[in-house]
């Protein structure tokens, strides 16, 4: 048995039930949708692919069928691997993301989480929001943030960081690897764009 988890931030183009039905049609008697959920910040669908089935082929078929119906940040992971695979990057003809841009994206996400955690601990609180993962679109590095704070509060905090002490943490590494912009998306929606000179 192979378990696959599909997740996304923000809203899907169609209802989760419709996506699950499409996945069930592709799986047929080779697997099943075993769970999932949907909420304010996004959604997920859990899939089980039965033994003696070409899991890679089925996942490829599922990706082709559902990628247009989910946000660009939608990804899947295999339970035994946990490496995140963006759906759109798995489509035929998709451009490969330059390794240095992806590394910078991951580094910024990790740096943001460390800064958020340190600031929250200093106040005796828990992190108010976090960077779930980084991704790259063209030459724009995107940090996918999730949380429960109002959008405007998150935008204000990010703007103060980007224009303050942490400016170098974002702008310098991105400039070195050829990024032209950094974007922060919060619960699947873009909230801040910073050009990289």
What digits encode the pLDDT tens for the residues 19-70? 999 999 999 999 999 999 988 888 999 999 999 889 999 999 999 999 989 9
Pairing mode, strands 189-195 and 181-186: antiparallel
**If DSSP states are collapsed to H, E and C, what string results for the chain?**
CEEEEEEEECCCCCCHHHHHHHHHHHHHHHEEEEEEEECCCEEEEEEEECCCCCHHHHHHHHHHHHHHHCCCCCEEEECCCCCCEEHHHHCCCCCCCCHHHHHHHHHHHHHHHHHHHHHHHHCCCCCCEEEEEEEEECCEEEEEEEECCCHHHHHHHHHHHHCCCCHHHHHHHHHHCCCCEEEEEECCEEEEEEECC
Q: Is the dihedral of CA 75, 78, 80, 85 positive or negative?
A: negative
Cα separation, 160 vs 167, whole angstroms: 9
Output the pLDDT for position 139: 93
Would you put residue 10 in left (φ > 0), alpha (ψ -120 to 50) or beta?
left
Output the pLDDT for position 113: 92
Q: Is the pTM of this model over 0.85?
A: no
Output the pLDDT for position 151: 95
Token pair listed for 104: 């910078």
What tens-digit pLDDT sequence spans the chain (197 residues)?
A: 999 999 999 887 788 899 999 999 999 999 999 999 988 888 999 999 999 889 999 999 999 999 989 998 999 999 988 788 998 888 888 888 888 998 999 988 998 899 889 988 998 999 889 999 999 999 999 999 999 899 999 999 888 888 876 677 778 889 899 999 999 999 999 999 999 98
Closest Cα partner for 34 from 64, 67, 4, 74?
Answer: 4
Output the pLDDT for position 165: 67
Output the pLDDT for position 98: 87
Cα separation, 146 vs 114, whole angstroms: 15
Output the pLDDT for position 185: 96
Residue 80: CB partners within 8 Å, gap ≥ 6? 2, 3
Count CB atoms within 10 A of the CB of residue 189. 13
Token pair listed for 44: 């997920």
- Phi first, then psi: give them for residue 13, nearest 5 degrees: -70, -30
């Amino acid at each position: 048995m192979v378990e696959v988890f599909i997740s996304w931030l923000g809203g899907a183009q169609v209802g989760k039930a419709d996506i699950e039905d499409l996945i069930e049609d592709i799986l047929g008697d080779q697997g099943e949708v075993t769970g999932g959920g949907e909420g304010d910040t996004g959604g997920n669908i859990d899939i089980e692919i039965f033994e003696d089935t070409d899991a890679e082929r089925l996942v490829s078929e599922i990706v082709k069928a559902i990628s247009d119906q989910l946000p660009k940040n939608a990804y899947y992971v295999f339970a035994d691997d946990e490496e995140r695979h963006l759906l759109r990057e798995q489509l035929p003809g998709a451009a490969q993301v330059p390794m240095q841009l992806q590394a910078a994206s991951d580094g910024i996400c990790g740096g943001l989480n460390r800064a958020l955690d340190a600031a929250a601990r200093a106040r005796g609180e828990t992190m108010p929001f976090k960077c779930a993962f980084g991704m790259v679109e063209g030459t724009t590095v995107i940090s996918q943030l999730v949380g429960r704070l109002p959008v405007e509060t998150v935008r204000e905090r990010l703007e103060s960081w980007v224009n303050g002490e942490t400016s170098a943490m974002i702008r310098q590494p991105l400039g070195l690897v050829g990024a032209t912009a950094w974007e922060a998306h919060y619960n699947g929606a873009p909230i801040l764009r910073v050009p990289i000179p």
